[in-house]
Structure 1
Amino acid sequence: MTVTIKRRSALAGFAGFLLSPAAYAQAPAAGKGELQWFGQSAFKLTTPGGKVIMIDPWLTANPKTPAEYKDLDKLGTVDLILVSHGHGDHFGDAVAISKKNGAPVLATAGMGQTLQVLGILTPQMSIRMNKSGTYEAFPGVKITQVHADHSSEMVLKDPATGKDGSYPGGEAVGFIIELENGYKIWHTGDTGLFTDMRFIADYYKPDLLLIPIGGHFVMNPKDAAYATAEWIKPRKVMPMHYGTSPFLRGTPEQFKAALGNAPVEVLAMQPGDKIGL
């Protein structure tokens, strides 16, 4: 399967870790899926059937998101929003995008309950599910929640009082996303190492792994490389969740070095880049 990346000029520093320049010559062919990264853990996934799924859409306040995408209208039509946990750098612009597009937010039961009780989203716009649950969002597109080792409190404004408060966000999760063509993506969300990563990989067999490397709040490059090489063993891996704060010091170069000779293709992207699936 050929993967192409549309690069921005700022990619020069990662040249040693990316695919050959010829791979960037054209956009994915019609009918192919596409994944665009906006920094941190925020992605726009376009399925082969043309459905658009936003994942952890922290855009307007994200220092790494290109300015053009801080205008949420530039996203075009969005059909569904996935949120891995309640922290602001993941929940982000979920409500604004949902209301702009009439797109439901799919999250854990706990997060959905909080959003509904506060009147932030209606039950129709806040789909509640839980780990091991599978939701067929569109014909041929299946989304399964899996474990992530992290916390999930939410800071939200109570519409009744106008005051910010801390509320339960349910448990943190990752997502196994199976596309119409059978291609599987594991968005791990925010997580530390946990041994059931091996089971999840064996059971769901993801083709592409999206894994945090920043450290402090999530895995550092060494942790992420161990999980990738020893437990998950995907064909392709993309490092994410780094460089947006002084705490997130891990880099793609460190991740690549820690992987050593592991037989996995590393996609070191810059915010705004797209890959074909």
Structure 2
Amino acid sequence: MGGGAQAPVLQALPGGTPIPAGKTEVLWLGQASVRITTPGGKVIMIDPWLKTNPKTPANWKDLAALGKIDAILVTHAHFDHFADAPELAKMHNAPMYGPAGLGQTVATYGILPANLAPRFGKGGTILPWGPTGPKITAVRAEHSSELGWKDAAGKDIVLPGGEPQGFIVEMENGFKVWHMGDTGVFGDMRLIGEMYRPDVVLMPIGNHFVMSPQDAAMAVRDMIKPRYAIPIHYGTTPQLRGTPAELIQALGGAGPRVLVPEPGQKYDF
């Protein structure tokens, strides 16, 4: 793990089949911002919105505190998922992988050079570090993806952001994390669960723009069936009123173990 700031560790207790050898770190920094450190030491930053995120702890608002970043994943173009991605990509010369349409927009408008905004589409799997490194697969999300930006004159404009997506990140040891991005419930969550069998699902529960806690509970209990579920994308604004307590209540003692970190805390798997 790199980085100047230190994250409290919350150990995830194994249940069911043993966790594969190695350690995967999952650090939540508020909203959908998650830093994953793989057993092989690769650092993947997903949906970075830190500098102006009211839920991000002060010591993590300095992007240098993240330490080295090897790759950036952006699920869609909305500000609360994309905001700090260009700066981080330039800071680390790290590619920003996201919806193909977003990558094209970002390169066309000079937000990032084309080599830092590679195109990537749903259903595709990329191997940024070769066949023995982590694998990243883009999967469906049910949302929208407009990119709000300012033109050269400082006027607010809205640009195409491609189609929203989630990511299945498979570690070197086979451990899998599904970051859903922003999404509502859709029937193919069951198919994605059966195809990829994620160990951990990072899922939005805030309601209004994304799933409610009740919808999220149904999705992980009845369709996806992971070992662990981590709620994200709640409590940042008044509209995102869903809570982890409502999620746990809706699960009714069934389904995965729910892990509830505070922003700035991490789980080791």
- Length-normalised TM-score, structure 1: 0.88
1:53 aligns with 2:38: no
SS in structure 2 at match of 1:155: strand
Q: CA deviation at 1:201?
A: 0.3
Amino acid at match of 1:101: H
Amino acid at match of 1:180: E
CA distance in 2, matches of 1:144, 1:69: 27
Q: CA deviation at 1:173?
A: 0.2
CA distance in 2, matches of 1:273, 1:150: 27
The CA deviation string for residues 177-201 of structure 1, in whole angstroms up to 9 with x for no partner, is 1000100011011000100000000
1:260 aligns with 2:244: no
CA distance in 2, matches of 1:236, 1:58: 24
The CA deviation string for residues 150-199 of structure 1, in whole angstroms up to 9 with x for no partner, is 000011123x4343310010000000110001000110110001000000
The CA deviation string for residues 84-113 of structure 1, in whole angstroms up to 9 with x for no partner, is 000000012001111111111001110001
Whether the 8 Å contact between 2:95 and 2:118 is mirrored in structure 1 is yes
Report percent identity of matched pairs.
Answer: 54
1:144 aligns with 2:147: no
1:208 aligns with 2:211: no
Amino acid at match of 1:144: T
SS in structure 2 at match of 1:128: coil
Structure 1: 4+ residue segments shifted above 3 A: none
SS in structure 2 at match of 1:36: strand
The aligned counterpart of 1:6 is 9
CA distance in 2, matches of 1:112, 1:63: 27
Whether the 8 Å contact between 2:89 and 2:95 is mirrored in structure 1 is yes
Q: CA deviation at 1:270?
A: 0.5
CA distance in 2, matches of 1:238, 1:186: 10
The CA deviation string for residues 176-228 of structure 1, in whole angstroms up to 9 with x for no partner, is 11000100011011000100000000011100011110000000100000001
Whether the 8 Å contact between 2:22 and 2:173 is mirrored in structure 1 is no
**In structure 1, which of residues 30, 44, 60 is the aligned counterpart of residue 35 of structure 2?**
44
CA distance in 1, matches of 2:208, 2:128: 33
The aligned counterpart of 2:18 is none
Distance 1:196 1:71, change over 3 A: same
Structure 1 segment 232-243 matched on structure 2, within 5 A: 232-243=224-235
**In structure 1, which of residues 170, 177, 190 is the aligned counterpart of residue 182 of structure 2?**
190
The aligned counterpart of 1:118 is 109
- Runs of 5+ consecutive residues of structure 1 not aligned to the other structure: 8-17, 24-29
Q: CA deviation at 1:19?
A: 6.8
The aligned counterpart of 1:132 is 123
Q: CA deviation at 1:31?
A: 5.2
The aligned counterpart of 1:171 is 163
Distance 1:123 1:19, change over 3 A: closer
- Runs of 5+ consecutive residues of structure 2 not aligned to the other structure: 1-7, 15-20
- Length-normalised TM-score, structure 2: 0.91
Whether the 8 Å contact between 2:222 and 2:255 is mirrored in structure 1 is no
CA distance in 1, matches of 2:12, 2:43: 25
Quote the RMSD (CA, aligned, Å): 1.7
1:68 aligns with 2:68: no
Amino acid at match of 1:84: T
Whether the 8 Å contact between 1:252 and 1:268 is mirrored in structure 2 is yes
SS in structure 2 at match of 1:165: strand
Whether the 8 Å contact between 1:31 and 1:50 is mirrored in structure 2 is no
The aligned counterpart of 1:13 is none
Q: CA deviation at 1:6?
A: 1.9
CA distance in 1, matches of 2:95, 2:22: 24
SS in structure 1 at match of 2:242: coil
**In structure 1, which of residues 210, 219, 223 is the aligned counterpart of residue 215 of structure 2?**
223
**Higher helix content, 1 or 2:** 1
Amino acid at match of 1:232: I
Indicate the larger mover: 257-266 or 108-117.
257-266
The aligned counterpart of 1:154 is 147
CA distance in 1, matches of 2:108, 2:255: 47
SS in structure 1 at match of 2:247: helix
1:249 aligns with 2:252: no
